[in-house]
Chains A and B, each alone.
Chain A
């Protein structure tokens, strides 16, 4: 009690509201246990929060590690309270004037910490924030300084939900406020379902004002397929694999010639682990949006350690599996729609006849669809089946359109718009419904964006994306015929759902939203690089202010418009472009010298 009162008195100087809150809360959530070294350690729900041997030594070691990452101009945000040994160690070892904030999810834990041991005056040199995760996020955001999150795992793990909500709030805030212009290289696949997604990502990045280098490997599809024409499967696989390796190297050469701030690969992008490792060595930041079911396509296992950031459409086990395979950062980023592509259409009468039906399904002939769709045929409604890989399904031959040819996106949109009830059954390689129905496919978002009515198989992640007033889902195949019957006779009800789902997509689920979320995630993790650019810290205006003490640089900076981002390579390129026939100034030579070393670090080939 003596320690608590003393520490509270001390803390009152800078945080009177917090002290008042602490006086009223119960405390008693940490179990104090003396460490071997003598100072108190603690357990929370039978798990150690600090070392049982020497908590101070452990804290010093943690602080040393954090100091390697923490830049002077960043505000350090400590996650994990415990008995504050780690905060104390960091406060003592930080550079003078470096600012620290401690996030307090549960004031009772802090109260226990204040009662456990005497704390020095350092507690007045850090700031304490508490409240809901959203409140804390708003307080942190208000600082308008780059934030560096320093997580003390043994204590932070007990409030993982709070920290996730905090991070999500900050991401949203950052996504809303971003003003800077990144250079993003988007690496697309050679072919397949992720190709249109890559295109939509490129469009979204452009819309947001970023500079995009689109490495479109679709142009190599014919060659790739030519290598697949050999009879012997070993030859096919070997040649196609080597071809993908060459494309990976060509990506590397492209990146070397025009280094981006972020390399964003979309699933199936031909990138080898060796190239990814080389990119990391050369300080490129890489991310992968894996828009695939990780249980079906497993090549992520070979690449997990290669990308700096993974974005996946699944949660839980998917994240754990990627981390076990070596991924450092894994984030959930669901699918989306592109309103410029997936849109309501006014069809001619002929188009309505060609593409329309009471019930339609668009997609490839996966095993579960082959077994379930015949059950949903009925004389009560007309049905059309579009897509490829339906060979040998006699029961569906009467409804299969265009002899099972692959259909393009535009046709797909017409079908969605012309159909009364669009069936959306997620793919699964076994018979029946997907037994692990977690992720939500792109079709769900695309149908919604078209303002089309759909019946979708229930997914565990669907309720977070659409409410039951926006999308109708089914859990059992046997329920589908009755649902079709019900909704076919209720056009007003269908329209209500379709409009609500479209509004939801436009509000929350476009590629623009996803790209903002993705960039904000990387920006939060890299406050000194991607984060700084997104915040607009690198614009000419800010640089000129900083250059007040080096007026010789102003002529160089004045050549760039105020709203333009200026980097070392931009300055060097501008000097080179104007070098012909004139004597270079000393500052120009110095910039070129710095740039020659920069170019060396990015020299990939």
Chain B
């Protein structure tokens, strides 16, 4: 009888989407396993479109926070009983394995509560704080801000004790009806370009005037093209400003969906775009996962080596400081507008001061990024890392 395993991914949208190769690899390695997913409750809909997952369970962090606040005011045994009931609602019988993909204590504790055995971010008992080799590798990449030869999504595979899958096809997105007035998106001829209006952090926001220039450039260079503005309700204001900055002749070719799409509708909309451009890494990862090419603009703390979209043929513009490194304080004064249009139109791309351009590749050791104009990294170098970190077989 196959084992029951629970994949625990309690981080954000981008991390959840980057869990796909690990799910695929686990299913390849253990076809008889029943694989469930524990993810934040608000991301459950995305969890459900991940191929290979039997059951998706939502983790209600808001309710846990509320309970912790009450328990902090006055500790009562009832709160432990309530917490226990929440855990038992996930599973009555412990899983055989928990694959814990976050280094956060609550993900590690969840693993200890829900499964007989945990693997992933740490080694040993929940409070041991000893990172597994793969988690240590990921942390070192972030801490030292150095180049990465193993994609985070593939490192997740390593944490689960498996090698990257042979192939990661686009995830099939169940057809969901879009709001009536948005349904024509992607249905007419001419390329539809998705543009992510927001960003994961304020310092990574691209000025609205810059986005307006990008839109004008796209609509001018690509015959019959349309631009779809994508973002949450909080980003509706920015979308409005972008449209205000456009000439009135272009406004009719811009479709504003901000604040109107659920996550599954967003996934559906992303499949209808030929390319998605933006600085918001979560939706960029989702776009890449549904098979749409992406062009990321990474500045401030966002780094292609940590959060580059998974797969092949994606592009990332990386803002760099004078020392050639990305950093929190880097605020570009020039933006790769024309150069992005050149990418879209398959024209030669000029270099941009203080920006580097990266292209994603994929081989049997997973995905990685190579700077434009440079040769792909020899597989041997990456194979060596895999051998050094030595995934523990389950």
Question: Chain A residues in contact with chain B, CB under 8 A?
Answer: 283, 528-529, 532, 537-538, 543, 546-547, 549-550, 553, 566-569, 571, 576, 579-580, 583-584, 586-587, 589-598, 600-602
Contacts and interface: CB of A to CB of B under 8 A. Distances in A.
Given A601-B68, A601-B69, A594 B74 contact: no
20 contacts: A283-B72, A529-B74, A537-B74, A568-B75, A569-B72, A579-B125, A584-B125, A586-B113, A587-B80, A592-B105, A592-B126, A593-B64, A593-B110, A594-B64, A594-B71, A596-B68, A597-B69, A597-B106, A601-B68, A601-B72
Contact of B84 (A537, A569, A590, A592): A590
A601 B87 CA distance: 21
A596 B67 CA distance: 11
Given A584-B112, A589-B112, A598 B76 contact: no
Given A586-B113, A593-B109, A597-B64, A553 B77 contact: yes
A596 B77 contact: no
Given A584-B125, A584-B127, A596-B106, A538 B67 contact: no
A567 B73 CA distance: 8
Contacts of A537: 74
Contact of B81 (A528, A529, A550, A598): A550
A580 B77 CA distance: 25
Given A589-B109, A590-B87, A598 B71 contact: yes
B65 A592 contact: no
Interface residues of B, number: 30
A597 B126 contact: no
Interface core residue of B76, B104, B110, B127 (most chain A CB under 10 Å): B127
Given A529-B73, A567-B72, A597 B65 contact: yes
B386 interface: no
A559 to B, nearest CB: 14
A589 B105 CA distance: 11
A596 to B, nearest CB: 5
A587 B75 CA distance: 14
Interface core residue of B74, B77, B105 (most chain A CB under 10 Å): B77
B350 interface: no
A550 B110 CA distance: 21
Given A579-B125, A592-B105, A550 B77 contact: yes
Contacts of A283: 69, 72
A579 B104 CA distance: 18
Given A528-B73, A598-B69, A579 B84 contact: no
Given A590-B83, A597-B65, A546 B109 contact: no
Contact of B79 (A538, A549, A594): A594
Contacts of A569: 72
Contacts of A528: 73-74
Contacts of B69: 283, 597-598, 601
A525 to B, nearest CB: 14
Contacts, number: 97
Contacts of A547: 77
Interface core residue of A532, A568, A569 (most chain B CB under 10 Å): A568
Nearest to B84: A590
Contacts of A543: 75, 77
Contacts of A532: 74
Interface in B24-69: 61, 64-65, 67-69
A594 B77 contact: no
A580 B64 CA distance: 26
A593 B77 contact: no
Interface string B101-138: 00011100110110000000000011100000000000
A568 B74 CA distance: 8
Contact of A566 (B72, B73, B75): B75
A596 B125 CA distance: 16
Contact of B113 (A529, A576, A580, A589): A589
A109 to B, nearest CB: 36
Contact of B126 (A571, A584, A591, A601): A584
B74 A546 contact: no
Contacts of A571: 75
Contacts of A598: 68-69, 71-72
A568 B76 CA distance: 9
A236 B267 CA distance: 58
B393 to A, nearest CB: 24
Nearest to A544: B77
Contacts of A568: 68, 71-72, 75
A579 B127 contact: yes
Given A567-B72, A597-B68, A589 B77 contact: no
Interface core residue of B64, B74, B78, B126 (most chain A CB under 10 Å): B74
B67 A594 contact: yes
B105 A596 contact: yes
A594 B112 contact: no
Contact of A594 (B80, B104, B110, B126): B80
Given A546-B76, A586-B84, A597-B67, 14 more contacts: A528-B73, A537-B74, A538-B75, A550-B78, A568-B75, A590-B80, A592-B127, A593-B110, A594-B67, A594-B83, A596-B106, A597-B65, A600-B65, A602-B72
Contacts of B81: 549-550
Given A584-B127, A586-B113, A595 B68 contact: yes
A591 B67 CA distance: 11
Contacts of B71: 568, 594, 598
Given A590-B87, A601-B65, A567 B75 contact: yes
